[in-house]
Amino acid sequence: MHGVEKIFQPDIFKNKVVFCTGGAGTICRGQVEALVALGANATIVGRNKEKTEKAAAEMSKIRHDAKVIGLSVDVRNYESLAAAVKTTVEQLGGIDILICGAAGNFLATIEQLSPNAFKTVMDIDVLGSFNTFKAASDELIKSKGQVIFVSATLHYRGVPYQGHVSAAKAAIDSLSQVIAIEYGPKGVRSNIIAPGPIAGTEGMDRLSPNQDATAKSVPVGRMGTISDIALSTVYLCSDAASFVNGAVVVVDGGSWHVTSTF
């Protein structure tokens, strides 16, 4: 699954529990699949009940003894997140790895964005990430666990049509830094994964219809894959990264550094 078994020991996440928002989506699903393949059990939450439950059922087949629960939750609603955390603790025993990946996006200039459109994306991405961490933080302290926020590289420079998402991802990066400092002493690590252009994702399908041209612009000469993000997630969640806290792991083939063609 995502090639993790070729690089990592098969049971490094045995007895670990993952809680992931947006876990039925493309990138986050890959992250959870990789962790489950290496021994973890998981809860995935998403707004679409049918999609989330179907994804969880499919992911339960990754290992013969895997348990993956799918719950319908809108991350803008703190109470429903707290209930999902409670269900996870009751059914899986706690939370060791939190992945905050639920996000919303569409293409719109600042001129086209209504105040409610801007607020909607800020609420899903920023308030949703805050709510998720807040709901799960006591469990992470108990397990000396960790959180990974799924961010982006958009906000390192100005990207047109992405003002709302760029503002949201910048806020998430800041949130992670503060959590790293406030919760590091409690044994909880906080890090960011910042994917670049990843093929086969909802984000890229919306943002980049011409992915051949995008691939040519990436310094390593290809689009990223969902497995690239999954493998980086496994690294960050493993003991190999036990001293990595407050970091941003950019997984983009060098894309965001490109300023011009030559």
**Closest residue to ligand HXC using C-beta atoms:** 104
What is the Cα–Cα distance from 153 to 160, expressed in whole angstroms?
13
State the distance between the two ends of the chain, measured CA to CA, in whole angstroms. 38
Cβ neighbour number for residue 74 with a 10 Å cutoff: 16
Give the H or E element holding residue 147.
strand 146-150
* 114 binds ligand HXC per the rule CB under 6 A: yes
Helix H or strand E segment including 192: strand 189-195
Q: What's the rounded Cα separation, in Å, for the pair 169 and 248?
A: 12
Give the nearest distance from C-beta 75 to ligand HXC in angstroms.
Answer: 11
* 103 makes contact with ligand HXC (CB under 6 A): yes
The secondary element (H helix, E strand) that includes residue 142 is helix 128-143
Least distance to ligand HXC, CB of residue 103, Å: 3
Smallest distance, ligand HXC to C-beta of residue 50, A = 15
**Residue 30 interacting with ligand HXC (CB under 6 A):** no
Choice among 169, 176, 232, 255 that is catalytic? 169
**Amino acid in position 190:** S
Whether 186 is catalytic = no
Which of 116, 210, 242, 261 binds ligand HXC (CB under 6 A)? It is 116
CA angle 78, 149, 96 (to 5 degrees): 75
- How far apart are CB 113 and ligand HXC at their closest, in Å? 6
Among 165, 192, 231, 251, binds ligand HXC (CB under 6 A): 165
Selected from 78, 106, 130, 156, the binder of ligand HXC by CB under 6 A is: 106
In angstroms, the CA 180 to CA 174 distance is 10
The helix/strand count (H/E) of the chain reads as: 9, 7
Tokens of 11: 């049971």
Please indicate whether residue 151 is annotated as part of the active site: yes
**Contact with ligand HXC (CB under 6 A) among 52, 105, 191, 233:** 105
Could you say whether residue 242 binds ligand HXC (CB under 6 A)? no
Positions marked catalytic: 151, 169
Q: Which residues bind ligand HXC (CB under 6 A)?
A: 103-106, 108, 112, 114, 116-117, 120-121, 124, 152, 154, 165, 202-203, 207
